[in-house]
Amino acid sequence: MKMTFDKRSALTACTSSIVLLSVMLTSQIASAHGYLEVPPSRALACQKGLNTHCGGAQYEPQSVGETFKGFPAGVGGAPLQGPVDGKIASGGHSLFSAMDAQSAVRWHLTEIKDRNTAFQWRYTAVHPATKHEYFITRNGWNPNESIKRATFESTPFCTIDGGNQKPSDSDKHNCTIPADKSGQHIILAIWTVGDTDAAFYNVADVNILAEADLPGGWSPVGSLAPATTLLVGDKVKARAFSANGESPNYSVEISIDKAEEGTPQNWAFKLAEKINATHTLIRAGVRDENGNIEPAKGSNSLYAQKESGVIRYEVQLDMKEDTAARMSVAAQQAEYKLDKGQVKVDFSMISNRPMNVEATLFDQNNKPVGTTAAQVASGSTWLAMDVRSNPGTHTLTLVGTTLDGRTTRQDNQPTQLTGEGAGTEYDFVFPEGLGNYTAGTKVLQPKTGEVFECKPFPESGYCKQYSPSANGYEPGIGAHWHMAWNKL
């Protein structure tokens, strides 16, 4: 095998010990994961579809709010630690920054009907806990201002000693919400990890009714959490269900007759109004402290009387395809010249709708050799991807989906690559196809341009252990990549 000296590789070797030290120092803040399950954290409510426009939080509620321990002040008189004011909900991670948005109607409110509440966590990577704490917002707090330390009472209303033992999903923290707290509040739940420098900060948005039975005999049976913009001709149906199945008599449907009705807050308001006008045993809206339920332009809760038999609602969208949507590759070079198997493939695309697009370049064996994704506005957009391949005819596949998800368009174009090939073959561009990695799988690390092979069993199990917040086994990059991979 022909060997060549690469100055960049030599420099990388010289600095590897520094990189390793840096990764070791930060790896502690990614070793445990979990979220508040009861009542649901803001991020978990995103995953359940109760909250919308949540960014990456809806996919990783277990990672949201992870940062250094120390709230509301530093530990042992040390400088201020823990989350930064204004970023308490996200823990300061840009992937979860949507969690820091704050207004009186931005988030779904979980009703608290009894001050004696059992809080419960779900642990996806459990570590010892020194304690769990629960803080609550001050009386008179402003729900339209960003969340700061001063937003909360200075001391927790409930503290559970963890004894530096591993907690269990079945653990319940029986706490009593203070008697002077009612209406809309935020509960800040903190799991302080015992064997790292980390703590998890989860916020839960609640409406404290503080009564064992809701006023008027109403029971919560669902919610309207609008997110999608609808078009004229679309329909929305609130489907009612009893213990025996669907209850068509209590289902309600509306049509979007005018463009302005299609905004999420407007169609939710229209549907809530029709539910209230159609049925006396069902109500849709937002409850106040006196138990009154009125429709709102935004998220609405659904309530039912016992005699209706209704126990839950589901919202069904009937969206028509946007037949006028168009998207295609607009221009690319006649050929792209490879340099030691690598080249940047840039091209322009055009669409008449804002879209989420993904472009993939396939070689002659239909193996993906480069990919890129972006959200584009209507009009012309230039995209580029880093490619590692061999000379020959390739296929550029462009897939675009309108932001409301109703319409997908695809365009395939031949693309010529010339020049010097890559040599070493690989199966995936890391981390694509992560779930398929087994012993012998070869991956291209796009950050270094190197190819790595997954080690035999049992080390092959480490090859799949990767997430943006826990990348210790990332080939050529992670602190422990040698445990999983061989560099080719």
Q: Which residues contact 108 (CB under 8 A, 6 or more apart)?
A: 45, 50, 51, 205, 223, 225, 299
The pLDDT of residue 127 = 86
H-helix segments, 28-65: 42-47
Beta pairing, strands 198-208 & 110-112: parallel
Residues 144 and 290 in one domain: no
Residues 72 and 103 in one domain: yes
Q: How confident is the model at residue 151 (pLDDT cuts 50, 70, 90)?
A: very high
Q: What share of the chain is helix, strand, coil (3-state, %, to 5)?
A: 20, 40, 40
Please give the residue that has the higher pLDDT: either 12 or 150. 150
Confirm if 252 and 308 have CB atoms less than 8 A apart.
no
Residue 291: pLDDT over 90: no
The pLDDT of residue 25 = 31
CA distances from 342 to 45, 369, 394, 413 (A): 43, 10, 14, 20
> For residue 16, is it within any domain?
no
Question: End of a domain among 291, 318, 345?
Answer: 318
pLDDT mean over 402-406: 83
Q: How confident is the model at residue 100 (pLDDT cuts 50, 70, 90)?
A: very high
| Rounded Cα gap, residues 395 and 372, in angstroms | 14
Per DSSP, the residues of 293-310 read EE--SS-EEEEE-GGG-E
Top-ranked range on mean pLDDT: pick from 16-25, 211-220, 374-383: 374-383
DSSP state of 40: T
Residues 305 and 251 in one domain: yes
Residues 105 and 247 in one domain: no
Residue 29: pLDDT over 60: no
Residue 83: pLDDT over 80: yes
Please give the residue that has the higher pLDDT: either 474 or 179. 474
Residues 77 and 130 in one domain: yes
Residue 402: pLDDT over 50: yes
Q: Torsions phi, psi of 159, nearest 5?
A: -135, 130
Residue 217: pLDDT over 90: no
> For residue 21, is it within any domain?
no
Q: Torsions phi, psi of 43, nearest 5?
A: -70, -40
Report residue 311 as tokens. 């126990």
> For residue 11, is it within any domain?
no
Report residue 396 as tokens. 């550029």
Residue 76: pLDDT over 80: no
Question: End of a domain among 389, 419, 449?
Answer: 419
Residues 161 and 39 in one domain: yes
Q: Which residues contact 437 (CB under 8 A, 6 or more apart)?
A: 428, 443, 454, 460, 463, 464
Confirm if 187 and 132 have CB atoms less than 8 A apart.
no
The upper half-sphere exposure of residue 23, i.e. CA atoms within 13 Å in the direction of its Cβ, equals: 18
Residues 222 and 307 in one domain: yes
Among 356, 297, 369, 361, which Cα is nearest to 325's?
356
| Rounded Cα gap, residues 225 and 239, in angstroms | 14
Tally Cβ neighbours within 10 Å of residue 260: 10
The pLDDT tens digits of the residues spanning 302-311 come to 999 999 999 9
| Rounded Cα gap, residues 210 and 226, in angstroms | 27
pLDDT mean over 243-263: 93
Residues 99 and 37 in one domain: yes
> For residue 259, is it within any domain?
yes
Question: End of a domain among 318, 353, 383?
Answer: 318
| Rounded Cα gap, residues 69 and 205, in angstroms | 22
> For residue 469, is it within any domain?
yes
CATH number (domain holding residue 234): 3.30.70.2150
The pLDDT of residue 356 = 93
Residues 482 and 373 in one domain: no
Confirm if 232 and 262 have CB atoms less than 8 A apart.
yes
CA distances from 437 to 26, 365, 450 (A): 26, 19, 17
Q: Torsions phi, psi of 431, nearest 5?
A: -100, 25
Torsion of CA 142, 145, 147, 151, to 10 degrees: -30
pLDDT mean over 458-468: 88
Q: Which residue has the tokens 């010097």?
A: 420
Residues 49 and 142 in one domain: yes
The residue segments making up the domain with residue 355 are 327-419
pLDDT mean over 147-162: 91
Q: Which residues contact 77 (CB under 8 A, 6 or more apart)?
A: none
Residue 197: pLDDT over 90: no
Q: How confident is the model at residue 399 (pLDDT cuts 50, 70, 90)?
A: very high
Residues 45 and 182 in one domain: yes
The pLDDT of residue 440 = 93
Q: How confident is the model at residue 214 (pLDDT cuts 50, 70, 90)?
A: low
Q: Torsions phi, psi of 25, nearest 5?
A: -70, -30
pLDDT mean over 252-268: 93
Percentage of the chain exceeding pLDDT 70: 90
Among 289, 255, 286, 285, which Cα is nearest to 273's?
285
pLDDT mean over 277-292: 86
Burial 124-160 (b: 16+ CB within 10 A, else e): eebbbbbbbbbbbbeeebebeeebebebbbeebbbeb
Residue 11: pLDDT over 60: no
> For residue 293, is it within any domain?
yes
Mean residue pLDDT of the chain comes to 86
> For residue 14, is it within any domain?
no
Residue 424: pLDDT over 80: no
> For residue 179, is it within any domain?
yes
Question: What is the number of domains present in the chain?
Answer: 4
Residues 230 and 375 in one domain: no
Residue 268: pLDDT over 50: yes
